[in-house]
A = this chain, B = another copy of it.
Amino acid sequence: MSSPDGATTVSIDALHSFCMEILCDLGVSSAHAQVTSDALTLADSWGTFTHGTKLLIGYAQRLKRGGLRTDTEPQVVKEGPAWAIVDGQATLGQVVSTFAMTKAVELANKSGFGYVGVRNSCHFGAAGVYSSLAAKENMVGLSMANDVPSVAAPGSRTSITGTNPFSYAIPAGKHPPILLDMAISTVAGGKIYAAQQLGKPIPDNWLIGPDGKPTSDASLYPANACLAPMTAHKGYGLALMIESLSAIMTGASLTWNVGSWMFDDGTKPTNHGGCFIAMNVAAMQPLDEFLTRVDGLIDEIHEAPKADGVERLYVPGEMEWERRQKALQEGIKLPADVVAQLRLVAKEFDIHPSWLQ
């Protein structure tokens, strides 16, 4: 169902089956393929196309070369009453992260609070996938991860930290969970790649050029430019917190020792770190009261006075949940750059879904 702009509409189920087929062809177990397909299609259904099935082709390369393993399982290597350290065993980042958040929820069920630090993981896609897993259990969820440096520090000429994604989800009652998923850079790297593929110029606060000054030339990235940290020292500061909780606490690789899942030797693990936290609301107070108060906060925001020309005030994640609702009914309209990547991977695996013709 291609449209003139190169976009294609596909049902979530059909897109999920497509992912499953490719991952299973690559030797990924059915359970791991399921979790990964869930994560990638959830991101696409939110409209977070930079972190959805577009990633599949890159993951496939690593799976073929062995840097991502199909013969191992993530393992808890150490644990206490309210924490655990997980070795991801170089399985897909989505597999490790889902395992870790599931463990965090288990700990929070026992102790009220669960922190799971992860090492030997890989690129995990959209951070919000994992925080929202906790929200499904009526827990507050936080997820974050480090990544290969691509973001400058205030005053630096080169990259200092990764975009180090950060997400939280807060369960609500009648409303969907409040859900933030952000990079600590002004924008995520995926947005720059999307601009490159679409040939679009970018605002001048997204990138720092090779001289340490802002630039609007997307083509410089990533070889000759770094992403800019949001609000300078604040984004940079959050990046170092995420680096510490995800990698220093866990024994994962730090900054330049993290492997690039896209550009580095595909035969080697990237050793990304991650941090997954679940807070058991019901252990601390009556769940109904909590959910009612979250609903009240959301209602209050919806009803607040708006600036001229603004029709609605959104709560974080609200646009994404509405897009998902629409996608469940009408399918996901995948943009042209995603379709192009999916065509490449379909060709490589010699599969021919009707929606991709």
Interface residues of A (CB under 8 A from B): 78, 80-83, 85, 110-115, 117, 140, 153-158, 160, 168, 170, 178, 180, 182, 186, 211-213, 230-231, 233-238, 240-241, 243-245, 248-251, 254-256, 279, 281, 283-285, 290, 293-294, 296-297, 300-301, 304-308, 310, 312-316
Contacts and interface: CB of A to CB of B under 8 A. Distances in A.
A316 B284 contact: no
A316 B249 contact: no
A-side binding surface: helix, strand, loop or mixed? Answer: mixed
Copies in the complex: 2
B249 A80 contact: no
24 contacts: A81-B111, A83-B112, A83-B113, A111-B111, A155-B312, A157-B305, A157-B307, A170-B241, A178-B240, A178-B241, A180-B238, A182-B234, A211-B308, A212-B310, A230-B231, A231-B231, A237-B316, A243-B297, A244-B294, A248-B293, A248-B297, A249-B279, A254-B296, A255-B297
Contact of A248 (B158, B256, B294): B294
A243 B256 CA distance: 35
A203 to B, nearest CB: 12
A47 to B, nearest CB: 14
A293 B156 contact: no
A249 B301 contact: no
Given A156-B304, A158-B304, 18 more contacts: A80-B113, A81-B82, A82-B82, A85-B285, A112-B115, A140-B244, A140-B249, A155-B314, A156-B306, A157-B306, A168-B241, A170-B244, A180-B238, A212-B306, A230-B234, A240-B297, A243-B297, A254-B297
A110 B243 CA distance: 25
A307 B156 contact: yes
B113 A307 contact: no
A241 B293 CA distance: 13
Nearest to A157: B305
Q: Interface centre among A158, A168, A240, A314, by most B CB within 10 Å?
A: A240
A81 B110 CA distance: 9
B316 A158 contact: no
Contacts of A254: 293, 296-297
Q: Interface centre among A236, A244, A251, A297, by most B CB within 10 Å?
A: A244
Contacts of A279: 83, 115, 245, 249
Contact of A178 (B231, B244, B297, B308): B244
A249 B243 CA distance: 26
B305 A158 contact: yes
Contact of A251 (B154, B285, B316): B285
A180 B283 CA distance: 30
A267 B258 CA distance: 55
Nearest to A187: B231
Contacts of A285: 78, 85, 249-251
Contacts of A158: 304-305
A78 B284 contact: yes
A149 to B, nearest CB: 9
Contacts of A255: 297, 300
Contacts of A245: 140, 279
Contact of A82 (B113, B186, B296, B312): B113
Nearest to A294: B248
Contacts of A234: 180, 182, 230
